[in-house]
């Protein structure tokens, strides 16, 4: 299952390797459809290959704002921070 992260843990969780950040919200229908796919993918792939994390934009608006996230779901790839 993809790990839930927060504004406070974002930098630490995304500083190493290739990381896929799923910006989502509980009320978002497409997010709820995409979530199980990303959870399954995170179980199938080693974090050495791709680390998948998710961030609820309602509970953690600062990071979403910093990246200019205007709609969800949005997927962001980060490599080595």
Write down the catalytic residue from 2, 31, 53, 57.
Answer: 31
31 is annotated as an active-site residue: yes
DSSP readout, 18-62? EEEEEEE-TT-HHHHHHHHHHHHHHHHS-TTT-EEEEEETTT-HH
Distance CA 81, CA 74 (A): 18
28 is annotated as an active-site residue: yes
Radius of gyration of the chain (CA): 12
Over residues 35-63, the pLDDT tens digits come to 999 999 999 999 999 999 999 999 999 99
Please tell us whether the domain made up of 3-79 is placed in CATH 1.10.1280.10.
no
Q: What is the mean pLDDT of the chain?
A: 97
Confidence of residue 4 (pLDDT cuts 50, 70, 90): very high
């Amino acid at each position: 299952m993809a790990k839930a992260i927060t504004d406070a843990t974002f930098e630490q969780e995304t500083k190493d390797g290739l990381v896929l950040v799923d910006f989502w919200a509980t009320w978002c229908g497409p997010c709820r459809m995409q979530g199980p796919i990303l959870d399954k993918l995170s179980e199938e792939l080693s974090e050495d290959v791709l680390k998948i994390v998710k961030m609820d934009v309602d509970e953690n608006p600062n990071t979403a704002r910093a990246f200019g996230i205007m709609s969800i779901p949005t997927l962001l790839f980060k490599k080595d921070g």
